[in-house]
Structure 1
Amino acid sequence: MIVSTLHASMLLVGCFIFLVALRVPVAFALGIATIPVVLLDLRLTPFLIMDRMFQSYNSFILLAVPFFLLAANLMNSGKTTDKLIELARVLTGWMPGGLGQVNVAVSMLFAGISGSSTADAAGCGKILIPAMTKQGYDPRFAIAITACSSVMGVIIPPSILMVVWGGVMSISVGALFLAGAIPGFLIAAALMATVYGYAKVYDYPIAVRPSWADFWHAFKGAALALLTPVFVIGGIVGGIVTPTESAIIAAFYSFVLGCFVYRTISPWQLVDVLYDTGRFASISLFAIGTASVFGWMLSFYNVPRLIVEALTAYEFGVFGTSLLIAALFLFFGLFIDAIPTIIILGTVLFPVASAAGIHPIVFAIIGIVSLAFGLVTPPYGLCLLISAAIGKMNVVHVLRDVVIILIPMVFILLLLILFPEIILWLPKLLMPKSVI
């Protein structure tokens, strides 16, 4: 029998939603949801599906994912995070809401090294949430600001999501890295302004009044770690290395810092770091494989083409289409991990964005920023779950503060939609050929 487009869509989406409702992990749910259609349609075979899954891994650029994860885990285990926190303390600790400002600043610094929001939430949260609570900050605020600031990990370059997006959509990863810099800093500024407002309302203290000697000592301690984004982004933008090679350099450099310079990683810790990296990388890469199969099956039944025709018929224009794209990514980010969403929803909406005249890099950044917010919104909200677990508090009790902190961040997203040149300015300046 040959399955129609309508029946295939209903089976695929219906089975996926049913499995997610049963709390089956998303990566497995995407793969299992394809089985009924394969069994019913004579044109499909299990071997064809397996072939499509393995083809999704035939991408050199995806090797960057485990190496960026390894770099982040080495930084956390090597106490490099502590040195970044000390630098952030002297840079922003003198401001109202000192430790809250430090929380935002260290997330911004860590984002420039790791490319992972979850590593940021775990590494920085373990230190800053207890410290903030001890200094009299409301635990709910400490958890919320830690979770919300950690989303910069996938916006400020380097970013694992940008590597995946560039690989799937065939867009320059270097241009995406540059495009994410200014939006990331704008989100950091919005977060700092929010912390300032909290400090004035709740009379939160400053953390420290540093001297020039304190600043020099902190900068000297963190200087070697701060060279990581210089090697990674500078190498890619300068055309010296590929994104995968830059990830390998970041991992090797983090290894040298932790094992030989700071000498804070023992051989046994290194084994644990490699195990954790392998486990998390396998989860991410397995999700890429199953999401690719799911997306290919949607394409096989012409679902993306029908969606494109339906949406382009309404002629929303550039602004309206951008809003719709952001809303869809925000909605899907509530329930699904960012990487499968990029592969499934991103590939479906890419022709819609192109038809509306939205630049591919602008489309990518709008999608990634929207998905980043999904890391702190239930029921998925992985960064929020990690931060709440560290703070030993139920997620429900933290939601009010998360919403308050997210509001100015959403305004930044709207600003990017209104003025896309904010996104394109750096790529046009430093990599003009990639923006054509």
Structure 2
Amino acid sequence: MSRTAAVASVVDRVLGLMVEIPVAILVAVEICVLFAGVVARYVFHAPIVWSDELASILFLWLAMLGAVVAFRRGEHMRMTAVAAKVNPRARAFLDLIAITSALAFIGMVFPHALEYAEEEVFILTPALEIPNSVRAAALPVGLGLMMVFAFIRLARHSDLKMVASAVLLTAAIVAAFWLLGPFLRPLGNANLLIFFVGVVAVCVFAGVPIAFAFGLATFGYLALTTRTPMMVLVGRMDEGMSHLILLSVPLFVFLGMLIEMTGMAKAMVQFLASLLGHVKGGLHYVLVGAMYLVSGISGAKAADMAAVAPVLFPEMKQRGAKEGDLVALLSATGAQTETIPPSLVLITIGSVTGVSISALFTGGLLPGVVLAFTLCMVVWWRYRGEDMSHVKKASGSEILRTFVIAFPAIALPFVIRAAVIEGVATATEVSTIGIAYAVAAGILIYRKFDVKRIGPMLVDTACLSGAILLIIGTATGMAWGLTQSGFSRELALWMTGLPGGAMTFMAVSIVAFIVLGSVLEGIPAIVLFGPLLFPIAKAVGIHEVHYAMVVILAMGIGLFAPPFGVGYYAACAIGRVDPVVGMKPIVGYLIALFIGLVVVALVPWFSIGFL
């Protein structure tokens, strides 16, 4: 290691700790503030008037510092399908391009973030009466820290010639666009294709993190083809990341980690295994059922799969199940359970479209059951001849014992969903109730609570949340740019004029979101296109909750379908299986998922029957 790289490594560790410790404290404080607000309102009937305002101020800091942690760790969401197919040297160069592209966006938007924070000093918050710049300062601070870590990552690279090539190539592309600015402006709406299709596609397929791909395209479009002040883009990012509904994102992520750490997820799986483990394909049915119960609470499908797969896979392999089929079914259940509340996709779609979170939580349960049924049909067909002579059926007492042990864990998802659906608490507030419940259950019932893991869990929570929220911020800016261009109006006219009316619109939406889910992942696709398409769905007579279920499931199929769906590769990593061996078995499950999706699309009752 060169002297420069060694110094950069030391600075990285020190600065990393200086970010991780405050962000872990921020997550813990957010939980305490919101839980105190719930207790004060529902127990003592004395609301804390400033609790939501303080939570909102801290939330933006949590989001930006969490994004910094994700950037330092290289954990911002990105498409790696292309990079995985090239040789190691080309892959290393694409990784550098990802860093330099992110650095280009940060460097261009940073001065405007400073200007935005300075402007907010004149606005006082209503309850605490402090300058709003205290909150807005999180934007330039977070961007500045990401800039520093970008330079550190470049300095630590062993091949300085490759680093210089990546920097020069990125700078040349930015300069070329700047020089072409006078020629781009007269092109009008053709610039939408150049920036929001061309630039985004090139960046995403090159492996640039999605948040920065969106940011670069939006900044380039607004700066080179409009007269919009760039401070407006920062304001739209702030607006997208600061919605109080989204505060439930880090809280549910932390709750999911608690469920895994306390053994609650394992207890659920063991109970289902005692019920169905003796039937043909029984543990496959257990996998489907366990993902249904656990799904949504962790905030990340990878966390859901990681809570279930290690408990089931060893026994399933002993019974002769093939690795490829196991990982294929695990990936398929990830897509099947996208609508199960309290899914972060549901919370996000409610945030960006204004659809009732309670209605989405109610409507999301049955579509997941429909897709579970179609998956179980494939399992039944594939395992109808399985030899179960060596498997002992659990006795009634064993089933009862595992049920008693699992009951507190099984009750948690239903308590959370019922509290939101019945209006007892908001999606944000109920997550703190779930955290308190999980802590109490872990300490008093399961006697499994490792205090040493809490710190890393808080940092991991902020990291994942920051990566999600930065995408939401830049996608909100992009959606605003598309709206201002008149694109949304033209899209509405075109979509409403399609022959066949609602059914054609639904079919086009299904195909579009399967493709978008495979390329952009779920939340970016929802944030970017939800505000554009939901009003059109309403105009052609489709219920917004029904439409939400259909597009979420379509997006999930794309997310977990190889060769591009990153969810599939996450399932392979968790199952420690070569992705190639699951390619053939997953085809049957994907067909089953698509059939279930068509049923949900054709029968609105599954989505809105209980509203």
TM-score range, shorter chain: over 0.9
Is 1:198 matched up with 2:382?
Answer: yes
Structure 2 unaligned spans of 5+: 1-181
Q: Whole-Å Cα distance in 2 between the matches of residues 198 and 274 of structure 1?
A: 42
Q: Whole-Å Cα distance in 1 between the matches of residues 215 and 389 of structure 2?
A: 50
Provide closer, same or farther for how the CA distance between residues 23 and 227 of structure 1 changes in structure 2, counting only shifts above 3 A. Answer: same
- Paired letter, 1:56: G
Secondary structure (helix, strand or coil) at the match of 1:158 reads coil
In the alignment, is the contact (CA less than 8 A) between 1:120 and 1:153 conserved in 2?
no
After superposition, the C-alpha distances for 1:123-182 in whole angstroms (9 at most, x for unaligned) are 212232233223311110111111211334422222111111111111111111111111
Partner of residue 65, structure 1: 249
- Paired letter, 1:426: F
Partner of residue 369, structure 1: 553
- Paired letter, 1:198: R
Partner of residue 12, structure 1: 196
Partner of residue 45, structure 1: 229
Partner of residue 101, structure 1: 285
Is 1:359 matched up with 2:507?
Answer: no
- Paired letter, 1:247: S
Q: CA deviation at 1:391?
A: 3.2
1:82 aligned to 266, 275, 284, which one? 266
Partner of residue 491, structure 2: 307
Partner of residue 205, structure 2: 21
Q: Whole-Å Cα distance in 2 between the matches of residues 68 and 243 of structure 1?
A: 9
After superposition, the C-alpha distances for 1:98-123 in whole angstroms (9 at most, x for unaligned) are 22122112112212744542221122
Partner of residue 431, structure 2: 247
After superposition, the C-alpha distances for 1:357-395 in whole angstroms (9 at most, x for unaligned) are 101111111111111212311344333212211333332
Provide closer, same or farther for how the CA distance between residues 309 and 264 of structure 1 changes in structure 2, counting only shifts above 3 A. Answer: same
In the alignment, is the contact (CA less than 8 A) between 1:83 and 1:218 conserved in 2?
yes
Structure 1 unaligned spans of 5+: 428-436
Q: Whole-Å Cα distance in 1 between the matches of residues 389 and 250 of structure 2?
A: 40
In the alignment, is the contact (CA less than 8 A) between 2:419 and 2:430 conserved in 1?
yes
Q: CA deviation at 1:74?
A: 1.0
- Paired letter, 2:599: L
Query: What does residue range 61-210 of structure 1 map to in structure 2 within 5 Å?
Result: 61-111=245-295, 113-114=297-298, 116-200=300-384, 203=387, 208-210=392-394
Partner of residue 415, structure 1: 599
In the alignment, is the contact (CA less than 8 A) between 1:92 and 1:98 conserved in 2?
yes
After superposition, the C-alpha distances for 1:274-304 in whole angstroms (9 at most, x for unaligned) are 1211111111111111111111111111111
Provide closer, same or farther for how the CA distance between residues 207 and 292 of structure 1 changes in structure 2, counting only shifts above 3 A. Answer: farther
Query: What does residue range 314-325 of structure 1 map to in structure 2 within 5 Å?
Result: 314-325=498-509
Q: Whole-Å Cα distance in 2 between the matches of residues 42 and 312 of structure 1?
A: 28
Secondary structure (helix, strand or coil) at the match of 1:357 reads coil
Q: Whole-Å Cα distance in 2 between the matches of residues 216 and 382 of structure 1?
A: 39
After superposition, the C-alpha distances for 1:227-278 in whole angstroms (9 at most, x for unaligned) are 2123212111221111111122122222222344323221111122212111
- Paired letter, 1:388: C
Moved more, 129-138 or 279-288: 129-138
Partner of residue 532, structure 2: 348
Provide closer, same or farther for how the CA distance between residues 178 and 116 of structure 1 changes in structure 2, counting only shifts above 3 A. Answer: farther
Q: Whole-Å Cα distance in 1 between the matches of residues 474 and 589 of structure 2?
A: 34
Is 1:32 matched up with 2:252?
Answer: no
Provide closer, same or farther for how the CA distance between residues 328 and 205 of structure 1 changes in structure 2, counting only shifts above 3 A. Answer: farther
Segments of 4+ moved more than 6 angstroms? none
Q: Whole-Å Cα distance in 1 between the matches of residues 211 and 586 of structure 2?
A: 27
Q: CA deviation at 1:208?
A: 4.7
Provide closer, same or farther for how the CA distance between residues 357 and 375 of structure 1 changes in structure 2, counting only shifts above 3 A. Answer: same
Provide closer, same or farther for how the CA distance between residues 403 and 243 of structure 1 changes in structure 2, counting only shifts above 3 A. Answer: same
Higher relative contact order (CA 8 A, sep 6+): 1
Q: CA deviation at 1:9?
A: 3.5
Structure with larger Rg: 2
Q: Whole-Å Cα distance in 2 between the matches of residues 319 and 126 of structure 1?
A: 41
Moved more, 239-248 or 384-393: 384-393
Q: Whole-Å Cα distance in 2 between the matches of residues 314 and 145 of structure 1?
A: 36
May I ask how many residue pairs the two structures share in their alignment? 427
Provide closer, same or farther for how the CA distance between residues 230 and 21 of structure 1 changes in structure 2, counting only shifts above 3 A. Answer: closer
Provide closer, same or farther for how the CA distance between residues 257 and 380 of structure 1 changes in structure 2, counting only shifts above 3 A. Answer: farther
In the alignment, is the contact (CA less than 8 A) between 2:261 and 2:450 conserved in 1?
no
In the alignment, is the contact (CA less than 8 A) between 1:168 and 1:343 conserved in 2?
yes
Q: Whole-Å Cα distance in 2 between the matches of residues 272 and 206 of structure 1?
A: 42
Moved more, 116-125 or 83-92: 116-125
Q: Whole-Å Cα distance in 2 between the matches of residues 53 and 152 of structure 1?
A: 31
Q: Whole-Å Cα distance in 2 between the matches of residues 338 and 160 of structure 1?
A: 10
Q: Whole-Å Cα distance in 2 between the matches of residues 358 and 64 of structure 1?
A: 28
Q: Whole-Å Cα distance in 2 between the matches of residues 138 and 379 of structure 1?
A: 20
